[in-house]
Chains A and B, each alone.
Chain A
């Protein structure tokens, strides 16, 4: 399955904003770090994914543009 959202686990510091903004695909583990569910993004979800990407203070979340 393709994974349009990619997380840089080194850059991620667990702010958790992504899970707030995109709970459909991102949840936080026991320590507050995001777990990203695989799966295609429908146009509707795409908007949430973009917002989650833009909100990351660590620039750790990347939406693959060349899908």
Chain B
């Protein structure tokens, strides 16, 4: 069965829970892949132009135009390397794990195609070595592809690494792959100039490569056949929180949060607020449920889906306690290198935790917003910026609750168990995947 003209789902076609798709089945579903050879003299490879025409933005969180990133690597003099970034340090994201565990050949296809297009002889697959079943799935997938390493094809190397919130941050990932501590480094130089083994390095998210695998086969026009003009194609979103079934869904671009919540079995209680984009993302009030999820519409409100994350906070949870717990966790996930992160994030975290104490906390509370402004843009990486966005958007969205805590201390819900995960994943493997009708 070949993937028909506008069949849906695309990425998750043929997904079988609990099983890793074999290369044979993968080829049956998607067909084989044909990538024109790398021509050093002719400038841009047709595949890069096709990705540009498709309008692909990276699915790892930054939403940066993928073709621009690939072209920047291709423009360097030295032979480049390709890295599949499946570290997925965001607690609320589970899609790359799903792809690598169940559909690894789609991701490998995209990386192989890009390696050929930019003349790279090696692809590194970076993933959390401690994640259950992941290493076996990746290594088995690599062993199923006899063409790799033969003339014209790159070698693919599994790189199981230590996980963590910052593990997928590009410069930290480069450092880890170079055998150093997995901590962000000062930029420039950026990985596209000098990355793994000091070579120009293209690092892209697992889903981005999976999307490229489909563009190689079907082209940009096909890619845009689903989704909206502002959000072409489909994407994976991890939906969790007060929904009946937390899961990874594939949706047509430009869909709404409402449809995502419906596809996850609906709300289990009334909606108090939405977190888009994860712990570097933003909180929005329940009214945002009908906002189209595309880069521009979200950008106008200063938010983004990040790596494809929607978390629904139910009415029974305390946003103040949740935000305080996550901020404290982020503070400990910080590499601890920059004064602004160690001190600034520390001060913000302490002030938030104090809101769970007794009595009047308004002194420290009054500083949080200013401190969030003060840490933004000043670290070597964007961890403080992300944390500041997470905290300030919560303080805006749940203003009354924050002010109430500042005046009177903790509420009853503060004493309940937290609902936002700290490092562990919200989706149980059994319920991991589910298709959603194209919106």
Residues of A within 8 A of B (CB): 8-14, 29-33, 35
**Contact assessment for B374 and A30 in the assembled complex, using a CB-CB cutoff below 8 Å:** yes
Identify which of B338, B347, B371 contacts A9 (C-beta below 8 A).
B338
**B374 — nearest CB in chain A belongs to which residue?**
A29
Complex interface: chain B residues within 8 A of A8 (CB): 186, 380
**In the assembled complex, B132 has its CB within 8 A of some CB on chain A:** no
B378 on the A face (CB < 8 A):
yes
Binding site for A on B (CB under 8 A): 184-186, 337-340, 343-344, 347, 371, 374, 378-380
Contact yes or no, B186 A33, CB < 8 A: no
Residue of A nearest to B341 (CB): A9
- Chain A neighbourhood of B374, CB < 8 A: 29-30, 35
Which partner residue on chain A sits nearest B375 by CB separation?
A29
CA separation between A11 and B371, bound complex, in Å? Answer: 21
**Residue pair A10, B340 in contact (C-beta under 8 Å):** no
Residues of A within 8 A of B343 (CB): 30-31, 33
Q: Is the CB of A33 within 8 A of B337?
A: no
A9-B380 CB under 8 A given contacts A14-B339, A30-B371: yes
A12 touches B339 (CB 8 A): yes
Asked whether A13 and B371 contact (CB < 8 A) given A31-B344, A31-B347, A35-B378, the answer is no
B185 touches which of A10, A13, A29, A32 (Cβ 8 Å)? A10
Check B340 against A29 for contact (C-beta < 8 Å).
yes
Which residue on chain A has the smallest CB distance to residue B343?
Answer: A31
Q: B367's closest neighbor in chain A, by CB?
A: A30
Residues of chain B within 8 A of A12, CB atoms compared: 338-339
Complex Cα–Cα for A59 and B340 (A): 17
Given A9-B186, A9-B337, output 13 extra A-B contacts at Cβ < 8 Å. Answer: A9-B339, A9-B378, A10-B337, A10-B380, A12-B338, A29-B374, A30-B371, A31-B339, A31-B344, A31-B347, A33-B340, A33-B378, A35-B378
Bound-state Cα–Cα, A32 to B343, Å:
10
- CA gap between A13 and B340 in the complex, in Å: 10
State whether A9 touches B379 (Cβ < 8 A): yes
B383 to chain A, nearest CB (A): 11
Contact of B380 with A30 in the complex, beta carbons under 8 Å? no
Closest 5 CB pairs of A and B: A31-B343, A33-B339, A9-B338, A10-B337, A10-B380
Question: B379 — nearest CB in chain A belongs to which residue?
Answer: A9
In the assembled complex, the CB of A35 is this many whole angstroms from the nearest CB of chain B, namely 7
Residue contacts A-B, CB under 8 angstroms, 27 given: A8-B380, A9-B186, A9-B338, A9-B339, A9-B340, A9-B378, A10-B185, A10-B186, A10-B337, A10-B338, A10-B380, A11-B186, A12-B338, A13-B339, A14-B339, A29-B340, A29-B344, A30-B343, A30-B344, A30-B347, A30-B371, A30-B374, A31-B343, A32-B339, A33-B340, A33-B343, A35-B378
- Interface-centre pick from A12, A14, A31 (highest chain B CB count, 10 A): A31
Q: How far is the CB of B316 from chain A (nearest CB, A)?
A: 36
Please give me the residue from chain B that is nearest to A8 by CB atom.
Answer: B186
Bound Cα distance from A31 to B347, whole angstroms: 10
Q: What chain B residues lie within 8 Å of A13 (beta carbons)? A: 339
CA A13 to CA B337, docked complex, whole Å: 9
Q: Please give, as numbers and ranges, the residues of chain B lying within 8 Å of A31 by CB-CB distance.
A: 339-340, 343-344, 347
Distance (whole angstroms) from the CB of A27 to the closest CB of chain B: 11
| Min CB–CB distance A66 → chain B (angstroms) | 13
In the bound assembly, the distance between CA atoms of A13 and B185 in angstroms comes to 16
Distance in angstroms between the alpha carbons of A13 and B343 in the assembled complex? 12
Q: Return chain A residues, CB-CB under 8 Å to B185.
A: 10
Which residues of B are found within 8 Å of A9, using beta-carbon distances? 186, 337-340, 378-380
* Distance (whole angstroms) from the CB of B346 to the closest CB of chain A: 9
B183 to chain A, nearest CB (A): 8
Residue of chain B at shortest CB distance from A12? B339
Complex Cα gap A67–B378 (Å): 22
Q: Which residues on A sit within 8 Å (CB–CB) of B338?
A: 9-10, 12
A12 to chain B, nearest CB (A): 6
Give the docked Cα–Cα distance between A29 and B340 (Å): 9
CB-nearest residue of chain A to B384: A9
A10 to B183, CA, bound (A): 10
Assembled-state Cα–Cα distance A9/B337 (Å): 8
Chain B's nearest CB lies how many Å from the CB of A7?
8
- With both chains docked as a complex, state the minimum distance between the C-beta of A2 and any C-beta of chain B, in angstroms: 15
A29 to B185, CA, bound (A): 22
Query: Nearest chain A CB to B410's CB is how many angstroms away?
Result: 26
Nearest CB on A from B340, distance (A)? 6
Contacts of B379 in A (CB 8 A): 9
Minimum Cβ distance to chain A for residue B339 (Å): 4
Complex CA gap A14/B340 in Å reads 10
CA distance A13 to B374 in the complex (A): 17
Chain A residues with CB below 8 A from B186, complex form: 8-11
